[in-house]
Structure 1
Amino acid sequence: MRMYGCRAVRATAPVLGALALLGTGAVTAPLAAQAAPLGRVCMFEAPRGAYGAGHAAFAVKGRGEANHWIYGSFGSTNDVPKAGWIKGGTWANVRSRFISVRDQDHKNARYYTRYRCVNTRDGNIKRAQSWYSTVKNRGYNLHTNNCLHMSMAVFKGYSEVLRKDTRLKSTTNWSPNNYYRDVLPAAHWEKSHSL
Structure 2
Amino acid sequence: MTFGQQMARVATPVVGSLALLAAGMATAPTEAEAAPLGRVCMFLAPDGAYGAGHAAFAFKVRGEKDHWMFGSFGSTTDSPRKGWIKGGTWKKARAHFTNVKDGKARYYTGYRCVNTRDGDVKRAQSWYTTVKNRGYNVTTNNCLHMSMAAFKGYSETLRKDTRLRTATGQTPNVYYKSVLDKAKWEKSHRLDDRPRNKK
Q: Deviations over 1:137-178 (max 9, x none)?
A: 110001110000000000000000000000001111100000
* Contact 2:53–2:173, Cα closer than 8 Å, also in 1: yes
Instruction: Quote how far apart the aligned CAs of 1:34 are.
Output: 5.2
Tell me if 1:126 matches 2:122: yes
1:108 correspondence with 2:104 = yes
Q: CA RMSD in A?
A: 1.5
TM-score (norm 1): 0.79
Q: Report the Cα distance in structure 2 between the residues aligned to 1:190 and 1:180, rounded to whole angstroms.
A: 11
Residue 81 (structure 1) aligns with: 78
Q: Per-residue CA shift, 1:22-51, capped at 9, x if unaligned?
A: xxxxxxxxx956556510000000000000
Confirm or deny that 1:154 pairs with 2:150. Answer: yes
In structure 2, runs of 5+ residues without a counterpart are 1-15, 22-35, 192-199
Residue-pair matches, total: 160
Alignment of 1:94 with 2:90, yes or no, is: no
Q: Name the structure 2 match of 1:59.
A: 58
Greater C-alpha Rg: 1
| Alpha-carbon separation, structure 2, partners of 1:33 and 1:174 | 37
Q: 1:99-126, CA deviations, whole angstroms, 9 ceiling, x for partnerless residues? A: 11111xxx32111000000000001011
4+ aligned runs moved over 6 Å, structure 1:
none
Equivalent residue number for residue 43 of structure 1: 42
Q: Which residue of 2 aligns with 1:16?
A: none
2:145, 2:167 within 8 Å by CA — same for their partners in 1?
yes
Q: Percent identity of the aligned residues?
A: 69
Equivalent-residue separation in structure 2 for 1:148 and 1:34 (angstroms): 33
Tell me if structure 1 keeps the 8 A contact 2:20–2:117.
Answer: no
Helix, strand or coil: the match of 1:155? helix
CA distance in 2, matches of 1:42, 1:149: 14
User: Which of 172, 178, 189 does residue 193 from structure 1 map onto?
Assistant: 189
Gaps of 5+ in 1: 1-30
User: How far is 1:132 from its partner?
Assistant: 1.0
